[in-house]
Amino acid sequence: MRRVETIFIVIAIAFYAWFLSHYGPRQVLGYVRMAGWGLALTISLEAIARIANTLGWRVTIEDYPSRLSFVELFGARIGGEAVDYVTPSAQLGGQFVMALEVREKLRMPVGLATVVVASLAEAVGQIVFMSIALAISLRMIPVAANLYWAIVGGFALAVALAGGFFFVQMKRPFSHLWRAVAKFDIAQINTNENEIRDSAGEADAVLLDFYARNRSRFVASCLCYAVAWSLGPLEIYILLRMLHQSPTFQTALLVESVGLLIERATFLIPGKLVSQEGGKALILGMLGYPPGIGFAVGFLRRIKEMVWVLFGLLALMIHRTVMPQRGDIKGTAPVGHDSVMKMQRGAQGEQSL
């Protein structure tokens, strides 16, 4: 599994280097200067999307602890997203980090279960957004075009992945993860064996109970994420206008929705190294815009994302500096970040077999 990820990363970096050398750093920097205050506007717009994402997670927590503030939940959310952005963890690493960052006030089993539910809600919200966006904009691409059927196939794949994720959640995933990790000789895991095993079972129980009793909460969470995804086309539209282009909102919808499909197909590559610049250049070039404009839009988006990655890493640093390092699954022995990440690597190792 890691070998495949490494190959993807090398190919992505080579592709990115070729693209950057083709258009030239000077031209790219010129686009950045042209965007000007529009870049600051998109960074601010992203704050609204991140707040909506945090609300999507908040809705899934049925018995929300009063001492857990929304700011802390927001910090955990952007911290987890930062981890997902810079590592090829297929969003597994970020989910563990989110639960770990709030474990002082939200018990670990509940945290793990709710971040997994929220992750599925995010995928469903994305599918809802893409369905509406493609219904409005897909007519811009002729049915006979090869890309048309690639988009249809990519959308079907996104739906299948979401359905598969839900199926996995119904099969007590945390208990299976624990059994996989138990095969490895990890000192801290062995020390807290009973606590971790019980916590995994409780997380599975919370997960199953949520889907049995809280369907309205799940729908509300999906809507929060759909709102967050819907801000993407507005960002594309603003950037194109700042680059002295004349886009329609249909164009922005198509660029964003197809770009999300490309990101789904390349989720193992950290930092969206292929989908961001290359995907935007491909789509906008197909629509008659200069490919360099597409690359510039992707590059400007990367700057915005890196700013928010820095915010997320800063939130993690503040948490580890300010919060007491007690971390307890059930009120006794601590389960550290290193142990959980080893659990994640153990599960990935089993998948690769």
CB 76 within 8 A of CB 315: yes
Residue 348 has pLDDT above 50, yes or no: no
Q: What confidence score (pLDDT) does residue 30 get?
A: 79
Residue 335 has pLDDT above 60, yes or no: no
Q: What is the DSSP letter of 251?
A: H
**Residue 74: pLDDT band with limits 50, 70, 90:** very high
Gap between the Cα atoms of 14 and 274, Å rounded:
10
Q: What confidence score (pLDDT) does residue 15 get?
A: 67
- The percent of residues above 70 in pLDDT, for the chain, comes to 76
Residue 273 has pLDDT above 70, yes or no: no
Using alpha carbons, select from 319, 317, 311, 238 the residue that is nearest to residue 51: 311
Gap between the Cα atoms of 73 and 118, Å rounded:
13
- Residue, of 70 and 277, whose pLDDT is higher: 70
Gap between the Cα atoms of 47 and 40, Å rounded:
11
CB 93 within 8 A of CB 99: no
The set of residues, in sequence order, having a beta carbon less than 8 Å from that of 30 and lying 6+ positions away, is none
Lowest model confidence (mean pLDDT) among 60-74, 79-93, 174-188, 234-248? 174-188
CB 165 within 8 A of CB 321: no
CB 266 within 8 A of CB 3: no
Residue 324 has pLDDT above 70, yes or no: no
Q: What confidence score (pLDDT) does residue 198 get?
A: 81
> What's the chain's length in residues?
353
Lowest model confidence (mean pLDDT) among 2-16, 76-90, 145-159, 257-271? 2-16
CB 81 within 8 A of CB 301: no
- Kindly calculate the radius of gyration of the chain based on its CA atoms and give it in whole angstroms: 21
What single letter denotes the amino acid at residue 280? K
Lowest model confidence (mean pLDDT) among 13-22, 29-38, 72-81? 13-22
127: helix, strand or coil: helix
What single letter denotes the amino acid at residue 74? F
Residue 347 has pLDDT above 60, yes or no: no
**Residue 268: pLDDT band with limits 50, 70, 90:** low
Q: What is the DSSP letter of 271?
A: G
- The string of DSSP codes covering 76-97 is HHHHHHHHHHHS-STTHHHHHH
Q: What confidence score (pLDDT) does residue 274 get?
A: 66
Gap between the Cα atoms of 324 and 260, Å rounded:
39
Gap between the Cα atoms of 333 and 344, Å rounded:
20
Burial class (CB in 10 A: 0-12, 13-18, 19+), 321: exposed
Residue 192 has pLDDT above 70, yes or no: no
What's the mean pLDDT when you consider all of the chain? Answer: 81
Please state the separation of Cα 133 from the chain's center in Å: 19
Q: What confidence score (pLDDT) does residue 344 get?
A: 45
CB 340 within 8 A of CB 196: no
Distances (CA, A) of 32 to 78, 239, 242: 25, 10, 10
- The string of DSSP codes covering 190-206 is HHTHHHHHHHHHHHHHH
Gap between the Cα atoms of 351 and 353, Å rounded:
5
